[in-house]
Structure 1
């Protein structure tokens, strides 16, 4: 007996919001590409970083050895980095992965993974009491090919192991998280405690209050920049004008534009604004692509 694949029937018992979500899932080309890609990315957000790298080639240089991924769960961006640095090598792949030509305007894809990262004053989550470095040994159990460099991922939520990735379970807005990152960077051979690329796909939970949400976005950006000041390798020490890269998500707002003008533009040789095609068109989400860290913040 043969079976013909069909789209799943949508139950009349499902709430309208769920029906809309499933319908948009089925129409989203990035959802299909995610499942078809040989790496089997954990989230469609992987294609945002793939598009950024296709345009700015931030990973191709052999002087890129240490990458820090902030707000990494569920691990799609860390997978991309591991793929680019040779830790993940599917049997067949192209140097540049072909991305879908366009995404449906109404495309939604896999639900965005936005845990309660930034609730600092409420009761601590049970997982906060777990050893934040517990996954370091666990990652060694994953069969892996030897790539180059080191990848350090941080998130409040525990991540499943990825070859070449060392994960820390901490809230980035807590000072203790910076201490763990600092210690791990210093223990990474050849890094001298510095990263060549810092990635941040962090976002605060939306509250419905525009002022509160913008304030949370700005708090994250400032915290990432403060970490960058002390942990990003300078272009001069790398010997490449575009060396020392920060990729950071933000949501468009005049205060964020002011943040870029006052802190990012004076301290990087190049600052670009990028909205990947795989980013939802209805979202104000954008990315700063900052290249050429000058080494001493002004």
Structure 2
């Protein structure tokens, strides 16, 4: 029987993927866990842990309310819950159109995060019944659109997700009440924080310069060591939400 070249190619690709997963230390840590590293649902959990150790995006001293967009299967929500565990009045919300298994310390809201229904539910829970008092300290987005193989289309889909997360964050993030300051030898940016995954492309540079830099005290590009070297993914870490730049020109 003649074996289809397509089947052979697919099988070879699958074998390489399995071999890579077997060697990946972060895949192993996700599966085994230990006393200091919980059993995380996704490999990407370690990327957020890395960024959180470098920047005050999930600081116990300044973070009370966190919203994880497109959260399923829940790895980033788990990290937020782990880092803020025991903090009085901390609230973590996982939003996704997909269902998720419960996560200790996390409230799951199922639906499109841009829909009025989900936004009202989030506002009600964050404001403890008062929808007018909505202030979020950190918005997380590890969302990724299904890859089509068409570079132009894939970049466009990624940009759409970045734009959606940014629009959402602008509506809910806490606005800075003063300039940046030094505490304990480190710079602190008052205001909410935003972390968004993106894929390197010139269009993304333009998006950052127009839609992120003017709105935040500091925006940096991070490619955590936990990201695979061959991947073009990176993250914008946006610190100190200032609000609409047109209001303070």
Higher relative contact order (CA 8 A, sep 6+): 1
Q: Pick one of 212, 228, 232 that aligns with 1:284.
A: 232
Whole-angstrom CA distance in 2 between matches of 1:275 and 1:251: 11
Match of 1:157 in 2: 98
Alignment of 1:204-215 (within 5 A): 204-215=145-156
State the Cα distance separating 1:291 from its structure 2 match.
Answer: 0.3
Structure 1 residues 237 and 20, CA gap change in structure 2 (3 angstroms) = same
Whole-angstrom CA distance in 2 between matches of 1:169 and 1:238: 36
Q: Pick one of 174, 178, 183 that aligns with 1:233.
A: 174
Structure 1 residues 169 and 63, CA gap change in structure 2 (3 angstroms) = same
Q: Pick one of 186, 199, 202 that aligns with 1:251.
A: 199
Match of 1:105 in 2: none
Contact 1:63/1:238, CA 8 A, preserved across alignment: no
Would you say how many aligned residue pairs link Structure 1 and Structure 2? 228
Contact 2:127/2:133, CA 8 A, preserved across alignment: yes
State the Cα distance separating 1:147 from its structure 2 match.
Answer: 5.7
Whole-angstrom CA distance in 1 between matches of 2:58 and 2:40: 18
Whole-angstrom CA distance in 2 between matches of 1:79 and 1:213: 28
State the Cα distance separating 1:15 from its structure 2 match.
Answer: 2.4
Contact 2:124/2:131, CA 8 A, preserved across alignment: no
Alignment of 1:22-171 (within 5 A): 22-38=18-34, 39-86=38-85, 148-171=89-112
Contact 2:63/2:90, CA 8 A, preserved across alignment: yes
Structure 1 residues 155 and 190, CA gap change in structure 2 (3 angstroms) = closer
Higher share of residues assigned helix: 2
What do the CA deviations read for 1:141-179 (whole angstroms, capped 9, x no partner)?
xxxxx7641000011211111111011111335454434
Larger deviation: 234-243 or 66-75? 234-243
RMSD: 2.5
Structure 1 residues 50 and 232, CA gap change in structure 2 (3 angstroms) = same
TM-score after normalising by structure 2: 0.83
Contact 1:86/1:148, CA 8 A, preserved across alignment: no
Structure 1 residues 196 and 268, CA gap change in structure 2 (3 angstroms) = same
Structure 1 residues 214 and 173, CA gap change in structure 2 (3 angstroms) = farther
What do the CA deviations read for 1:44-77 (whole angstroms, capped 9, x no partner)?
1100000001111322242311000001111110
Q: Which runs of 5+ in 2 are unaligned?
A: 1-7, 181-187
Whole-angstrom CA distance in 1 between matches of 2:214 and 2:179: 19
Larger deviation: 237-246 or 200-209? 237-246
Larger deviation: 178-187 or 42-51? 178-187
